[in-house]
A and B are shown apart, each in its own frame.
Chain A
Amino acid sequence: MADASYPTELLYHSEHDWARIDGDTAVFGITWYAQDALGEVVFFDPPEVGSSVSAGESYAEVESVKAVSDVVAPLSGEIVEVNLGLGDTPENINNDPYGDGWMVKVKLSDEGEIASLLDAAAYEATLS
């Protein structure tokens, strides 16, 4: 498992989710802290492409052996792509939470929401 890290190029939601923003789309995933708290991820239940997500609300579930957690969307929009690879290798969420462990790509509906997210330092400060 990777060491604790919170890349500075990402933005964070206090419910332990990150967003990588690229114009009017963003990629979402969960933070190192979230995957560590969850333990070994065994299943990712993805949402459907085309469904909409709202900032602060759950859009998917991740499961460890003995827990189920909601995954919260940092921003609102419509899902345009899902990381189907996680079906076979959910361990990528643990091993590479900011890379192969990404979950969905979203076309943002309100770029104004971006301002409400935390930067890496601010998010890390919430963890201590």
Chain B
Amino acid sequence: MTQYTAVTDADLAEMLSAIGVSSIQELFDRQIPADVRLGRSLDLPAGLPEQEVYAHLRALAAGNVSAEDEITFLGAGMYDHYVPAVIDMLLGRSEFLTPYTPYQPEVSQGNLQAMFEYQTAISELTGLPVSNASVYEGPSAVASAGYLARLANGKPKFVVSRGLHPHSRETLQTYAHGFGAEIVEVPLRDGVTDPEAWAAAIDGETGAVFFQQPNFLGAVEDATALASAAKDSPAVVVGQYDPIPLGVLKPPGECGVDVCVGEGQTLGNRLDFGGPSFGFFAATEAYLRRMPGRIAGETVDADGRRGFVLTLQTREQHIRREKATSNICTAQALNALAGVVYLTWLGKQGLVDLGELLLQRTHYAREQLVALDGVEALHSQPVVREFALSLPGCDVASVIRRCQDEGVNPGYALGRDYDELPDGLLVALTEQRSKADIDRLVEVLGAAVAAERTAVGASA
């Protein structure tokens, strides 16, 4: 017996007698052949009381430098937005935390309606009429959009902007190698997808095109132009979007995007060192029956009362098996619930206000940083919440370390993913970074760059 099981000696005797065996071991011996039984204890530490497990996990947490411990400008796909208290409170409720997929709609209306509301919110955000109830996370959502295209038109070539998140490009590549599509990458020019190379890469064999808005370097792409370049091809136009900037940016549904996917972490989900979060997946009506994942729909019950069910399930693996639109089996229901609660918390005007605030602060931060000696803008495109700098002649990792020693994490070293940008630094903002924080970054980064240039100069 452990803290989570309840079989007393008296229970055990009664249960074994009801079953008609003499021991629990007999249940295993009669079903598992001797040659594959383990026959020893697992080589793992002994169990611990709750307070000791807590202490251990707290000690591990203390071995990390979190956004609680430094002023962070790290983004590159996940962002340190404030998670409102109502989310902790609602997600902690047993009724949301501990049920499973709503297989029995009569006792899952809370979940199903939350999915329906989530779908509505994502549709509104993206300007696309159809949304599923969420998928695993961002980059795999991009890859799933590729599979949708593969099933929809069968064309073997995917055209991918180099501005797409490196993790999305890698994930798409991994999936595409399986189902047999080739990736053609289009380079960036002055921070955005090179429009001529993009148009030239798209032809009658292109199954899908992929870009990111804003792109990985923080630059706002001309989404309408990118989408329209694919108009005369069979390609499905896929945009990976950061949802927060959609408070101010033209929605993909108005730009000619067919499938909009993205990482939902910024909508009320914690950083959690990369997950769990959710991926959103929205599309034009034409792809309704090709969507991966769960979809909730409205209907009525036997008494005519309004209610919600999982619908269009014939797309899914448990029914269509090898012909399914995806192998995905659930949604990220709890994380998507955080998403719709967050969007509700922000509200119609709040999302706009948040976007405008980020625009202004991001603009201010870029101006201030670019004014520093040894710091340049990597591109001059409009940005919303994130921008790329270059620190010519500096070892960026070393600059970051110097800043972190001063309690500021200045951002992400682009050279980790972009060989052509060895001195690039990607700086991200959220509403949690005030003017005072930005000013502190300017001070610390300026000093770090100066020190680094001195160090490099001295060693040269």
Contacts and interface: CB of A to CB of B under 8 A. Distances in A.
A65 B105 CA distance: 14
B314 interface: yes
Contacts of B317: none
Interface size for chain A: under 10, 10 to 19, 20 to 34, or 35 or more residues?
A: under 10
15 contacts: A43-B289, A43-B314, A45-B289, A63-B314, A65-B313, A65-B314, A66-B313, A66-B314, A66-B319, A67-B314, A67-B319, A68-B314, A68-B319, A68-B320, A68-B323
Contacts of A65: 313-314
Interface residue SS majority, chain A? strand
A43 B320 CA distance: 14
A14 B158 CA distance: 43
A40 B206 CA distance: 39
Contacts of A63: 314
Interface in A61-75: 63, 65-68
Contacts of B319: 66-68
A48 to B, nearest CB: 14
Contacts of B289: 43, 45
Nearest to A62: B314
Contacts of B320: 68
B322 to A, nearest CB: 12
Interface string B320-332: 1001000000000
List 5 A-B pairs, minimum CB-CB distance, nearest first.
A63-B314, A68-B314, A68-B320, A66-B319, A68-B319
Interface in B306-359: 313-314, 319-320, 323
Nearest to B321: A68
Interface of B: 289, 313-314, 319-320, 323
A33 B289 CA distance: 27
Given A43-B289, A66-B314, 6 more contacts: A63-B314, A65-B313, A66-B313, A67-B319, A68-B314, A68-B319
A66 B319 CA distance: 7
Contacts, number: 15
B387 to A, nearest CB: 47
B44 to A, nearest CB: 42
Q: Which residue, A43, A66, A68, has most C-beta atoms of chain B within 10 A? A: A68
A43 B297 CA distance: 15
Contacts of B313: 65-66
B361 to A, nearest CB: 49
B130 to A, nearest CB: 15
A74 B319 CA distance: 26
Nearest to A67: B319
A88 to B, nearest CB: 15
Q: Which residue, B289, B314, B323, has most C-beta atoms of chain A within 10 A? A: B314
Nearest to A45: B289
B19 to A, nearest CB: 35
A63 B314 CA distance: 7
Contacts of A45: 289
A37 B320 CA distance: 17
Interface string A100-123: 000000000000000000000000
Interface in A50-67: 63, 65-67
B375 to A, nearest CB: 58
A45 B323 CA distance: 14
Q: Which residue, A43, A45, A65, A66, has most C-beta atoms of chain B within 10 A? A: A65
B416 to A, nearest CB: 45
Nearest to B323: A68
Nearest to A42: B314
A66 B289 CA distance: 14
Contacts of A68: 314, 319-320, 323
Interface string A60-104: 000101111000000000000000000000000000000000000
A116 to B, nearest CB: 29
B315 to A, nearest CB: 9
